[in-house]
Amino acid sequence: MVYCLLVFRKNFWLRLAGICGILVPIFTLSLILLSINSYQFFNWESNALSDLGVISGNTAVFFNYGLVGGGLLILFFVPGLSLLLDNNFNRIVLPFFVLACCFLITIGLFPENIKPIHYLVSVGFFFFLPISLLLISGSFCVNGQSFWGFFTFIIAVGVTLPWILYFFTNIFKAVAIPEILSGLGISFWIFTLGLKMLLYSGKKIRN
């Protein structure tokens, strides 16, 4: 009986986390695109995405609610991630990822005109995101889940590379492009693991 309850609890959180993981990119990216579409003066070569958060009307509402809602969905994704990793490193690894999620939420709660909080939480998000992914990559490898460890490592490189190019080359003229590229990278990672959680709830989840 106890075993059945434990299995049910595990399957419940895997399914819930999987659904939330799938919804993250759909919800967040859709609202960001709506925000961009609602502001005709947005320019990828001169703006930051955060500029959208201070434009009156639907533009700011779409953008800020997209970040806050997306961050909250990611927090519900974390229990499933913990079940996938399922090792003693969770206490070290997952807090970094949760911290990055909290920074994402606060970017929406404290728009660009609230200084210096907005700048600090934005830097915090893009700083802790690749660090948390690298730690998660290592945790997957410790579990013997080498494919998912390598996949997560590639995503970590993918969300970091645009910023390296931005700071050390002239490829990107504004921060909007590295911001969206990093966002697409983490969205793809969360969506893929969300599918894994949803499809494999109740089954053996390791490779």
Is residue 48 in some structural domain? yes
Give me the pLDDT at residue 25, please.
96
Mean pLDDT of 31-50: 96
Q: What is the pLDDT of residue 158?
A: 97
**What's the number of CA atoms in the CB half-sphere (13 Å) around residue 30?**
8
Contact 56, 117 (CB under 8 A): no
In-domain check, residue 206:
no
What's the mean pLDDT in 78-87?
Answer: 91
Rounded to whole angstroms, how far apart are CA atoms 156 and 135? Answer: 10
pTM: 0.92
Q: Does some domain include residue 2? A: no
Does residue 108 form part of some domain?
yes
**Is 205 within a domain?**
no
Asked if the structure places residue 59 within a domain, the reply is yes
Q: Read off the pLDDT of residues 103-136 as tens digits, 9 standing for 90 and up.
A: 999 999 999 999 999 999 999 999 999 999 999 9
- Expressed as residue numbers, the domain containing 70 is 10-200
In a domain, 207, yes or no: no
CB 121 within 8 A of CB 103: yes
* Residue 4 within a domain: no
Summarize the confidence of residues 76-91 as an average pLDDT. Answer: 90
In angstroms, the CA 170 to CA 32 distance is: 25
Question: Domain count of the chain?
Answer: 1
